Amino acid sequence: MTIGRHRLLQLAADGVLIAAAWYLAFRLRFDPFDVPVYYDDYLAWTTIALVVALKLAVFTLTGIHHRWWRYVSTRDMWGIVRGVTAASLLVYPSSTSRR
């Protein structure tokens, strides 16, 4: 598999969006300056980097970035659901083991 500059740009954009979603999920759930102390490990940069790396790896392995988004079929949608679910199932135990 070759990784062209367009795919790298797409991976970088997905990485930024994943990191922002993870960070904002905690910041929006609680007051921005009142996140409970026991969530500090979840907001550490090492945890966020691990989450981004795992999710991007699963997205790449499941071929999510190989599809043309203009012509998405129901089969493609289920492939995306499987990829996102697998990535989330991998991230959960690895993020809770860091506590």
Written as one string, the DSSP assignment of 18-38 is: HHHHHHHHHHHHS-TT---GG
Counting as low any pLDDT under 70, the low residues of the chain are 1-4, 32, 65-72, 94-99
pLDDT at 17: 93
pLDDT at 58: 86
Nearby residues of 84 by Cβ (< 8 Å), 6 or more positions away: 59
Q: Which amino acid is at 6?
A: H
pLDDT digits (tens, 9 = 90+) for 9-19: 888 889 999 99
Indicate the pTM of the whole model: 0.68
DSSP-assigned letter for residue 2? -
- Give dist(CA 57, CA 60) in Å, integer: 5
pLDDT at 67: 61
Among 50, 88, 67, residue whose Cα is nearest residue 10: 67
Domains of the chain, residue spans: 5-96
